[in-house]
Amino acid sequence: MAETRSVVITGASRGLGLASAALLYERGWQVIGAMRSVDAGMQRLREVTGAEDGDPRLIGVPLDLTDAASVAAAAKSIEEAVGAPYGLVHNAGIAPVATVEETPMSVWEQTFATSIFGPVALTKALLPGMRKAGRGRIVLLSSAAGVRGMPVTATYSAVKGALERWGESMAGEVASFGIGVTILVTGTYDTEIITESGGIHIRDFNGPYAPHHSTMDKRGLHALTLRIAKPPEKFAVSLAKALDDSSPFARRAVGIDARMLLIANRLLPSVGMHHMTRLMMGIPRFGALRGSPAAAMGAPDPQTQESENHG
């Protein structure tokens, strides 16, 4: 009888994490959902999968990736429950929407804590057991933003770029122990992170970047994003394939929009990508706002914007 493989999925309470946890459970995996709201998340997972309360193949672990003590406790709970997991999927993340100048430093810190520092700490805690077991797969969820920095998503683009470099480096280090690394460059999926309610939206429509924001909204980019978004269940199938990969390292696009961006980024020079992005988003051309009222405005107030965003 084949051994039941275990997989840890961070951010398993909703979106891509929830869909992936449900599919892997249905395919016979032992799923450990690591999430902040573990009670609510497990209730959703049981509703989706039909699993009974206490099912040993569906385990919830509290995890706040911004809290070092929580990460350490989660790693201990995971090892006590399943030993060394076969799969470790870093899915949790946040996506601030604002220009660099508008984004409070606390949001930069929160973003990197959630998508880099916390995941690195969890990986470091679980790697000794995975090395001893001599097998496993670590999957890092990147996105189109990790391929090319995009306006008003600098924080998200920066953290996804860092995540990819981390994964590439780590792959060369752990391959000798039988552990593979996969980076999934995800396209657009219909989850809360692409909605006004699901992200951290701190754009200032009365500040110096108001011309950027208003033009982008007139172009209907948010509506376009919603139209091309695919259901998260389609992503889950690709994740399942990634966990079955036997190569030491892989970087794959998931979704037609991600594949097209990877191709364009290879073929077009950097200046060409810059101009294509500017035209697509309707951003004023180089120097267009020089000497304008917007140019003379003071810096946005991060404290005010942050408190408005977090209610």
Q: Catalytic amino acids?
A: 156
Of the candidates 93, 185, 94, 171, the residue with the CA atom closest to the CA atom of residue 138:
171
Q: 262 is written with which tokens?
A: 């990877």
Helix (H, G, I), strand (E, B) or coil at 37: coil
C-alpha 116/C-alpha 137 separation (Å) is 18
Note whether 230 and 189 are within 8 A (CB): yes
Show Cβ contacts of residue 227 under 8 Å, excluding neighbours closer than 6 positions.
none
DSSP secondary structure, 170-208, as one string: HHHHHGGGTEEEEEEEE--BSSGGGSTTTSEE---TTST
